[in-house]
A and B are shown apart, each in its own frame.
Chain A
Amino acid sequence: MSIKITDMMDRPDVLLRGNFACAGCGLSVAYRSAISALDKPIVVIPACCASVIQSLHPNVTYNVPTLNIAFAAHASAASGITRAKKMRGEDYTVVIWSGDGGTYDIGLSTWSGAAERNENIIHFCYDNGFYSNTGAQRSGATPRGAVTTTTPAGKSEKRKSVARIMAAHDIPYIATASVGYPRDIYAKSKKAAKIEGYKFILIDAPCPTGWNSDPAITQELGQLAVKTGYFPLYEIVNGKLVFSKQGSKYCDPTNRVPIEEYLDKQGRFSQMTPKNIEDLKKDLQFEWDMLAKLE
């Protein structure tokens, strides 16, 4: 499905201007692209940066119905909403908008339950690779070698693959998207809205404050993550993996941009030794090999 930018302009103000997001926020771009694709959304937000940027009570920056809920309760709350709306015969799209902390680590048990029951929810995870709202602590999504406040010498473990955990639940639709390609986020969000059952979309959202990068290159960082093979773009529809148009040619390692180009633009990787970079490359290739088995 090819999407024009003018198609995205039908709902321009799902996120109102003048909010608490940092300059160059990747989450804001992801939110605008993803939620503007949905008809009548109800968004459930656990503790994450998305609950910070909505600003101070009684003002809210989100122009769609939004429920703030405790960290581990997002999928349970969304399950309740989707069932209540179904009983009343009202047609709403129930959405979980969670960060990587709420998806990779803390909310895992609740979304696993909701995915097992195959509730009719779209679960978005914007992945910036650490707990951004509490001050950059490491999370399961932090890549090897990245500096956070709790890993001052760089993380020594590899990054968890939440999309493959999600794939083990055999849900109808899983996709990954990147802030580097907002039209792709919009298209995948629109596609997910048409599918019945639990849908999961993982969005790579660069964070200039936590990654110690230039705010102006947020979109470029998103694109570089795809081009270097750091963040593969794919869809898993009913258990069958298909690489997306933007990302398919990077299956072949020779087509990829050197990973150093991506790492050099971020201050969080400034302590990486050549050994760390080798290990990170092995982690990435391992992920691609595992994905190829799902093809």
Chain B
Amino acid sequence: MIKEQIQDGLWRQNAGLVQLLGLCPTLAVTVNITNGFALGVATIFVMMLSNISISPIRNYVPESARVPIFILVIAGLVTIVDLSINALSKPLYDALGIFIPLIVTNCIVLARVEAFASKNSTLPSLYDGFFMGLGLTFVLIILGAVREIVGNGTLFQNLHFLIGEKYQFLTIQLFDSSDGFLLAALPPGAFIALSALIVFLNLVNQKK
């Protein structure tokens, strides 16, 4: 059972590349690896928690009122994550800005609750939330890496916001940032990088 969730989350039903849900944060936040990773982890948390909150009560949720109930649960969880990130790292919180609260409107969270957690028992729902989130996180990290290298000439920029000021040396400067290809750092660059990833995924799938 768990194997299916791994395959679905990471590849066959990948949230970022196949289902194409949650594009707003995917495209807007991924200017570097750190941002992509942090938003990805926040999304994994919210997805796991919302799936395991909904799954046990799925038989008590009336069909007609399910969406407001799901949104209530998701909004509550996101607010908790939002406050926690703000307390953990203020610079990171400032960098991610509005996109943490916007996880509420990320369709992928609601979609998994609706399509999976409300129909399956708790443990598979937990796996589903985790691997769907993980699949999205991988996409966010790859997009962040590509855009950071091409647009800014760096890797792991701002990582010290996440793990502490003394790790500032981890930032790798590949070339001078003024030589970066600006387009990659701007939203259109995100679309182009994402479409390149989708092309890659489809090519691999076709070969099979």
State yes or no: do A and B come from one complex: no
